[in-house]
Structure 1
C-alpha cells in the first residue's frame, strides 16, 4: 500500500502541467500505463492556439471556438481559457521553453481549420507535443514520483462515497493499492477504440469507464472528432498529417485533380474538421481515393520534418506532391463531467485533459485547443489543490465498498471491436447501425455487486471489459441524440435540431435513471443511465 497527497493517472500535457504547478511540499505520484512520454500529447503535431498576434484578440479566438463547437460549448469556460491562453504561452517561454520564431525573434503564427486568424504557435515545426512533453518531463520537481507500467483499473470509493485511491496491476500482474487525498484522472480519450485513428494504442477510454463505474457523471460522449487527414497506405493508418499542412495551402483532391472542398464550405480545405471528414468519407464510400496536394508548399521538409520522415518511412513519393489520406478517430469532446475546478460529482475525484468534459470544445474541438485545454486546467487544478487541506481517514482493510461492477460474459476480439465501432459508430451514423452495435456490445457484459470483481482477471481481460463499457456509452449516447451536431452526424437526422437539442447534454451516471432539467442551467437533460 502506498499513500500520497495527490495521485495522477496518466502522463499527458494536463497531468504534467498539473505536476509542475503543485506545491513542492505535496507528495505527488504519477501512475502511467506504459512510459511517461507515451501519450497522445507527445504525438500532437499541431501547436497551441492563443491570440498572441497583433491583430488578434481572445474574443475572436472564443468566437471561433464556439462556432466550431456548434454552440454546444460552455461560453464561460471558453472565454476564461481563450483569455488566459496568451499568458500560458508567456509562462512557458519564461521557464525556458522555445517556440518557433522568425529572424526578428517573433513567434511564428500558423493557420489551421476554422480559425479566423493566424494564432497557432509551434515548436519544432510539426513536433510541438513532443517538445512540450519532453520539456515538462525533464523539469519535474523532486516531489513528483513516476510509476510506469502500472495499469490502473479501478477507483477506490469508500462507504461515504469519497474517492480515496486506485487499484492497479503491475507488469507481472500483481495488484497494487495507491491511496491519496486527491485522485486525478488524466488518462486521455478513447480514439484507439476505432480501427482508423491517430491515437496511441494506450488511449482506449479506461478512465471514462472507471469513472462511470465509480458513480461519476459522463457527458457528451457521442461527440467524437474524426481528423480528416490520416496518412493511409494499403488500407492501414500510418500516422497523422497535421492540419497545419492545409494551413500552409495544401488542397484535398481526387486522383483526377478535383478539389473536393471548393463548393462545400466558404473556408474550403480549412472548414471545421467534421465537415471536411464527412466530405472525404462520402468520396471514399463512392470508391474514390483522396489525396493531399502539397505541391504549392515551398520547403515542405523544413516546415514539416516529422511528416516528411513519416512519408519517407512509408515510401510515399513526396516529389509527386500527393499524400493519400483518410479520416480517422482523433479526439473526444465529451468525457467525465467536471466543474471549473475539475471536480467530479464524487468527493476527492478530479478529471483533466481529454478524459474530462469541461465545456470548452462543445460538439467539435477547434484545432490546437487541446494542448491549450490541458495547460489551462492542469494549472487550475494544481492551484485548487494547493489551497486544500483535505485529508482522508486512515485506510481500513479489507475494503468493503459495494457498488455495481461490470463483469465479462466473454471478451470481444479487439480488432472486431475497433472495426465495428468505425463502421457503426464512426463518421456517419444511423439508428440501424447504432442499435446493432449496442445489442452486440451488451452481449459481452453483466453486472455484479462485489468490490474486487476485477481482481482475478488478467490486465488484458480487464482492459477488454473497460473498452466494451466505454464503447457502449458512446454508442448509446449516439443512438439517443437524434440530430447531427459537430462530430456527431446521423444520416437519418442530418440537421441540427436547435428546438430540442441546443445546449442539451446527455449525462450518464451508473445505476441512476432520470430525465430532467438541471435546475441551475436549465439546459441540461439527463438521459437514462446505461443498464440503469
Structure 2
C-alpha cells in the first residue's frame, strides 16, 4: 500500500517524487524507461525572468500574448513569479547551467519572448541534464518500476475515490497497486499524429485513463505543432529547437526566399502556431522549407544534439541548411485540474502536460513547459505532504472483480490512426474534414468497453483503444470550437474572429458542456 503512486517519469513526475515527505511510501511507475520521456528530449531550456532587463511581469505578458488571452491569469502569474527561485534552487543543487563569458547564466532567446530568458544546459541538451539530475536525486526508498503499461484507474464503488492502478508487465501479466493518491504525469498526445516531436511512448494514455474513470477533460482542441522538425524522405526525424532561430537562423523556401518576412512583426520568432501555419502552407504547395543556419558561428558547439541528429540522418551541417516540417509537439488541454493538480475525482491528480492548468492558454510560450513541470511537481508535493497520514493504511479490502471479456473488436493499426489525425485534425482544420474523421472514428464506438475490464486484453489492443478514445475527444472539441484561436486553426473561421472569450469545452462520460472559467483563484475550483 503506497501513500502516492506517480504514473510517468518526466520532469513533473520526478520533481514531485523528490519533494514528497521522506517517510512517505512512493511508487513511480512508467510505461517505458525513466529516461524515455519528452522531458528528457527537451532541447530549448527553461523560461525564467532572471535577466537584468527582465521581470516576471514581462514573462507574464509574453505568455498571455502567445496563448491568445485564454489563460488562467492567476496561475500564469504565480508560475512566472516562481521561475527565478526554481532556477536558483536547481543551480544551488548543482545543475550545470550554461554560463556566459563573465560567468553569469547564459540566457537564450526563443519565439514570442520579448527578452532573453531561456536558461539551458549543454547547449541544446537541457532536458537530458535536468532529468539526469532529478533521477540521481531520487531517494533509494522510492520504488521505481519501468516497462509497465497502466491500463486502468481503480475507483472504489462506494466512495468513488481513486484507490490505485492496474498495470501490465511486458509479457501481459496483470499487476495491481493500491495507494492513497494517484498522480498522472504521463505527457501529452504526440503519438496520435504521424509527425511528432514526442517520445514514442507518448500516446495520450493519461487522458484516456482519466476519461474512462469519469474525470473531466478540457480544451482538447488546442494542440501545438512545433514549426521545425527535421524532415527526411517524407518523415520527421526529431526536433530542431526554436533556440536555433533564437541564435539567428532563418526559415527559407527552396529558392532561398525568407519565409516569415512580412508575415509577422517577429518574423522567424513569431509564436509557434503562426510559424507552423506558414510552413504548412508552403509544403502544401509542394515547396520545401529549410532552416538557414549559415550565420550561426560554432553551430556544432552550441547545438550538439541537433548536430548529432542531422549527422545520423545524413544532413550536412556544413551545407548551412536543415530541411524542416511542422509536427505535433504539445497539448495545452488535457485533464481538468485545480491549482494543486486535483482532478474532479477524489484521490486522483494530474500534473505536467497531461493536466490542463490554464497556464498555456491556446498556444504554449516556448520553454514554459519545463517550468510548468518544476513548479506544479513541487506544489503538488507540498499539498500531498500536508494530506498524507504516515500511519494510515488506506483501502486494501476492495479488489476489482474480473469480468469475462467481450469479444475484442478489430481495431485499425496505429499508423492509420496517426495518418488520419495528421490529415484531418492537424495544423489546419475544416468542418468537413473533421466530420469525415468523426465518422471514421465512430465506426469504432463500443460503449460496452467503457465499463468492461481490460484484464484479458493485450497491451497493443488497449493502446489502440486509448488512442481512438483520445482522438475522439480531440475531434469533438475541434468541431465544437467554431473560431480560430492559438494552435486551433479552423480554415472556415479566421484567426481574427475570436468570439468565444473564456468559454471552454469540457468533456466527460456524462457528456459535453461549455463552461466559462472563473477568473478568481480558489483552491477548490476546477480550472479548465
TM category (shorter chain) comes to over 0.9
Distance between the aligned counterparts of 1:79 and 1:303, measured in 2? 31
Offset of residue 401 of structure 1: 11
Offset of residue 394 of structure 1: 3.0
- Give the TM-score taking structure 2 as reference length: 0.95
8 Å contact 2:336–2:356 — kept in the other structure? yes
Is residue 511 from structure 1 mapped to residue 510 from structure 2 by the alignment?
yes
8 Å contact 1:272–1:366 — kept in the other structure? yes
Distance change in 2, residues 1:89/1:443 (3 Å)? same
1:77 matched residue in structure 2: 75
Distance between the aligned counterparts of 2:19 and 2:432, measured in 1? 48
SS in 2 for 1:505: strand
8 Å contact 1:111–1:119 — kept in the other structure? yes
2:273 matched residue in structure 1: 274
Q: Deviations over 1:185-207 (max 9, x none)?
A: 00100011100010111000001
2:432 matched residue in structure 1: 432
Q: Deviations over 1:24-65 (max 9, x none)?
A: 000110000111111000000110000000000000000000
Deviates more, 1:444-453 or 1:467-476: 444-453
Q: How does 1:164-179 map to 2 (within 5 A)?
A: 164-179=163-178
2:208 matched residue in structure 1: 209
8 Å contact 2:290–2:323 — kept in the other structure? yes
Offset of residue 72 of structure 1: 0.4
Distance between the aligned counterparts of 1:358 and 1:278, measured in 2? 25
Deviates more, 1:366-375 or 1:444-453: 444-453
8 Å contact 1:406–1:445 — kept in the other structure? no
2:454 matched residue in structure 1: 454
Distance change in 2, residues 1:353/1:107 (3 Å)? same
Distance between the aligned counterparts of 1:510 and 1:412, measured in 2? 23
Q: Deviations over 1:400-441 (max 9, x none)?
A: 599xx9996321111111000000000000001101111111
2:236 matched residue in structure 1: 237
1:321 matched residue in structure 2: 320
Distance between the aligned counterparts of 1:336 and 1:432, measured in 2? 27
Distance between the aligned counterparts of 2:65 and 2:56, measured in 1? 14
1:527 matched residue in structure 2: none
SS in 1 for 2:259: coil
Distance between the aligned counterparts of 2:330 and 2:70, measured in 1? 16
Distance change in 2, residues 1:284/1:399 (3 Å)? same
1:200 matched residue in structure 2: 199
8 Å contact 1:406–1:447 — kept in the other structure? no
Distance change in 2, residues 1:457/1:143 (3 Å)? same
8 Å contact 1:26–1:143 — kept in the other structure? no
SS in 1 for 2:319: coil
1:528 matched residue in structure 2: none
1:115 matched residue in structure 2: 113
Distance between the aligned counterparts of 1:401 and 1:217, measured in 2? 26
8 Å contact 1:407–1:446 — kept in the other structure? no
Is residue 341 from structure 1 mapped to residue 337 from structure 2 by the alignment?
no
Is residue 21 from structure 1 mapped to residue 22 from structure 2 by the alignment?
no
Deviates more, 1:276-285 or 1:313-322: 313-322
Q: How does 1:409-448 map to 2 (within 5 A)?
A: 409-448=409-448
Q: How does 1:21-100 map to 2 (within 5 A)?
A: 21-100=19-98
Q: How does 1:130-169 map to 2 (within 5 A)?
A: 130-159=128-157, 160-169=159-168
Offset of residue 520 of structure 1: 7.9
Q: Deviations over 1:282-333 (max 9, x none)?
A: 0111110000000000010010011111111111121110110000000000
1:394 matched residue in structure 2: 395
Distance between the aligned counterparts of 1:512 and 1:232, measured in 2? 39
SS in 1 for 2:176: strand
Distance change in 2, residues 1:314/1:517 (3 Å)? closer
8 Å contact 2:291–2:323 — kept in the other structure? yes
Offset of residue 389 of structure 1: 3.6
SS in 2 for 1:478: helix
8 Å contact 1:228–1:328 — kept in the other structure? yes
The match for 1:8 among 2, 6, 9 is 6
SS in 2 for 1:463: helix
Total equivalences in the alignment: 517
8 Å contact 1:354–1:370 — kept in the other structure? yes
8 Å contact 2:193–2:419 — kept in the other structure? yes
Stretches of structure 2 that go unaligned for 5 or more consecutive residues are: 522-528
Offset of residue 171 of structure 1: 1.3
Root mean square deviation of aligned Cα: 1.9
Is residue 286 from structure 1 mapped to residue 294 from structure 2 by the alignment?
no
2:364 matched residue in structure 1: 365
8 Å contact 1:406–1:465 — kept in the other structure? no
8 Å contact 2:156–2:398 — kept in the other structure? no
Distance change in 2, residues 1:398/1:449 (3 Å)? farther
8 Å contact 1:33–1:151 — kept in the other structure? yes
